[in-house]
Structure 1
Amino acid sequence: MDVEQFFEHVITVRMNDDLTALDIIDQTLLPTTIKRIDLGTKEEIWDAIKKLRVRGAPAIGVAAAYGIALLASKIEAKDYDSFSAEFTSIKDYLASSRPTAVNLFWALDRMQRVLVNKKGETISQIKKALFHEADRIRAEDVEISRRIGEIGFSILENLKKEGTEIGIMTHCNAGTLATAKYGTATAPMYVALEKGWRGDDMHVYCDETRPLLQGARLTSFELFNSGITTTLQCDNMASILMKSGKIDVIFVGCDRVARNGDAANKIGTSGVAILARYYGIPFYVCAPTSTVDLATPTGDQIPIEMREPDEVTEMWYRERMAPEGVDVFNPAFDVTDHDLITGIITEKGLVHAPYDKAFEQNNVKN
């Protein structure tokens, strides 16, 4: 299938036609099963975010926006104060699902601002406005990803040599499955296809991304099915690939960027950045401005989610692969120091260190 057919095939998050349920792809079943599920209760939406049925910072934001609009539509309060109190309770509950991805909180806060700004209107009007805002968040995410892709594609154009494929490495999944469309780290590749590049003009190497295998299950699934030459490798094979000269550039996504440019992304990203620095390979973080958290001075203040031990010891195995009772260290994210990052690509442009000043000059706000 061509890239547009693929995008239609894997729409990550949407409302169903009668606005009674949030419709998502269950990403825990990919790549062997493509199954859409309906989420109608706050518990189902919370669980889907927590259990990674929907994942990726932008997609989590879109899901949170639609989710709270859906749940607010079911509030039976007759007056604004009662409606607002119940809305805030739902917002706080959904916000507790995951601690690191700032888009979750950004989207919920943006939805609450609609509630505040619509005070004085009827409850029915407020409910409609919330759905409208969620639609806007999704549409904006598509445009933001497209813009990141355009900027990233210009980097690919500058690096590519005539008659040769360009080698790209990525880590985890910052693809269309992590957003409303295009992705962030994969957006340059998808834009390349739209602009007439062939799939074999690029060769993308996907880290498998232990322990949840998002690179193996999701990114290689996406890129392979969109016609891009794709190779999957274990995380600990990144160094030998870089040393071989096969990697020209690295694009990764992120879940939160601190004011100084430190970037939290899926565990293992900082190791890739360290290797890239050693081998002299440009390393770019692709980040919508909604993931830039100016209230967080450095990466040291970014909360790191710790996940269940069984993701490491038994989740993907027929039999347990570690001794019963052994301690397991399973952080979901690590933080890449800003001085390891060649540049951060937002929808407003490509910025370089010092990042706090660059964000200010690019009018990045929270």
Structure 2
Amino acid sequence: MKTIRHSSNVLVGLLAALAACGGGSNSGVAAVQLQSTNTNPRVGETTHVGATPVDAHGITVQGVVCAFTSNSPGVAAIDATSGAVAALSVGVAVITATCGGKSATVDITVQPNEVTLTIQKQGNGNGAVFANPPGSPNFVPGTSIQITATANSGSIFSAWGGACAGVPSNSPCDLVMNADSTVTATFDLSETFVSNTWSASLGTVTDSIGCRYAISASGVMTLNVVENLNGTMSGTGSTTAHIGIVTVYTPPYDTCTALPFDTSGTGNISGSDASFTASLSSSGGNFSMTFTGTRSGTTITGSATVSQTLRDGSGTAYPTSGTTGSFTATKQ
């Protein structure tokens, strides 16, 4: 019997010692260590907060269940047992993890959701594209931006595409970033050709009192040629034009007076190296020139039809036209 009583005393002493060391109902948790995959999620994203209970020596305490709460679940809601966080609105939420009577906190700062602007350059030319406001390609939804394109020397900015499709190439693109957007900017090579002097006889006109005049035209044409990736040619052109007027018949007892003058024409180029057209005209439409030619290396060769409408003091129109001989334009 003495032996049995002695064993019972030893057992009671052992249980007391275990309780003092953290056994029984005392968890032994001295602190809680937190881990978060992302403390700055954006609205709509998810993240995770993990909690590890440790003892006074930093050793993980096993078998302790942790619970999670958010002081602002409208900003960041957290699953009470898994620690999964859903970012719901812009703001800061304090996440608390409680393990074995000990707690730790971490701030989850929810950022505005963002949309991304992607700018792609294409074509055989070179240039730069800028977005204002500048900086990151990421923007808060609803942000208004303006995109501009500047061609390098020897190139021309020819077209917007993607989210900016339809915007004239000589205008910036104004865009509201409500969703991820891709903008393309096409730069093509531009080359300038200047012709030797062209000339054409436009025939004769006889006015209302019988004065007859011989009409001629001459000038220099400039073509700004763009070679497109698809093999076509485009660009702009211009020409000077001196309209010569010589009196060739004066009726008896009358005086004929007509003075030469200068004009000009501008327009566009279309076609390909093998055959293209430059359609040029004056702002009022009285003068026009249609040049048809081909390009071979650094030389353009062709001829043009030239028209000029003359008017007398009463406004009567006298249309004239003629064709130039073949002439060339050389790359500058």
TM-score, with normalisation over the residues of structure 1?
Answer: 0.21
More helix by share: 1
Which structure has the larger Rg?
2
More strand by share: 2
Instruction: Tell me which of the two structures has the higher relative contact order, counting C-alpha pairs closer than 8 angstroms and 6 or more residues apart.
Output: 1
TM-score, with normalisation over the residues of structure 2?
Answer: 0.23
